[in-house]
């Protein structure tokens, strides 16, 4: 009886160890499936005229970068840089000049730009790998 009990115990331990190895290997594979992120520059700084109530013109100069969540999509997204630049110009040029100096307004515009560019890339290439839009320089003058 003791031999049967000992054999059954050893069999349970062996099966537990085998199952544990399979669980660990599945987790390792899931970690290996994570994709790398990358940044794509939208090129030269954008310089545009802001909507101003004053007689003097107000200009905005920004440099923008796109964070992509899958480095494999880089060439697909890079193909649409001109469309993304256009989208930013259209969004930014309609903003009131007096509000552009406030940090909270800049963040709201950045979030709006992110949503518009994500929708644009999804429409043009059926790709959802745009993670964020970052302004690496933002100058109002």
> Mean pLDDT per 10-residue run, the chain (141 residues)?
54 52 47 75 93 79 95 93 95 86 89 96 94 93 86
Judgement on whether residues 29 and 44 belong to the same structural domain of the protein: no
State residue 93's pLDDT score. 87
State residue 18's pLDDT score. 54
State residue 101's pLDDT score. 82
What secondary structure does DSSP assign to the chain, as a single string? -HHHHHHHHHHHHHHHHHHHHHHHHHHHHHHHTPPPPEEEE--SPEEEEEB-SSSS-EEEEEEEEEEES-GGGHHHHHTTHHHHHHHHHHHHHTSBGGGTTSHHHHHHHHHHHHHHHHHHHHHHH----EEEEEEEEEEE-
Judgement on whether residues 21 and 80 belong to the same structural domain of the protein: no
Domain span including residue 45? 38-140
State residue 102's pLDDT score. 86
State residue 58's pLDDT score. 86
State residue 23's pLDDT score. 46
Judgement on whether residues 13 and 27 belong to the same structural domain of the protein: yes
State residue 90's pLDDT score. 93
pTM exceeds 0.85, yes or no = no
Judgement on whether residues 135 and 115 belong to the same structural domain of the protein: yes
Judgement on whether residues 44 and 1 belong to the same structural domain of the protein: no
Judgement on whether residues 44 and 88 belong to the same structural domain of the protein: yes
Judgement on whether residues 91 and 25 belong to the same structural domain of the protein: no
CATH of the domain at 109: 3.30.479
Structure tokens at 34: 């994570």
């Amino acid at each position: 009886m003791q031999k049967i009990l000992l054999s059954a115990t050893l069999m349970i331990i062996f099966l537990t160890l085998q199952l544990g190895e399979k669980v660990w290997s599945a987790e390792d594979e899931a970690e290996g499936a994570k994709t790398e992120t990358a940044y794509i520059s939208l090129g030269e700084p954008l310089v545009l005229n802001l909507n101003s109530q004053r007689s003097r013109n107000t200009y905005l100069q920004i440099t923008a970068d796109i964070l992509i969540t899958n480095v494999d999509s880089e060439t697909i997204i890079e193909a649409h840089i001109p469309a993304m630049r256009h989208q930013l110009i259209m969004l930014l040029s309609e903003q009131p000049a007096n509000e552009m100096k406030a940090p909270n307004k800049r963040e709201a515009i950045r979030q709006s730009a992110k949503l518009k560019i994500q929708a644009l890339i999804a429409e043009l290439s059926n790709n959802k790998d745009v993670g964020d839009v970052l302004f690496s320089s933002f100058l109002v003058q």
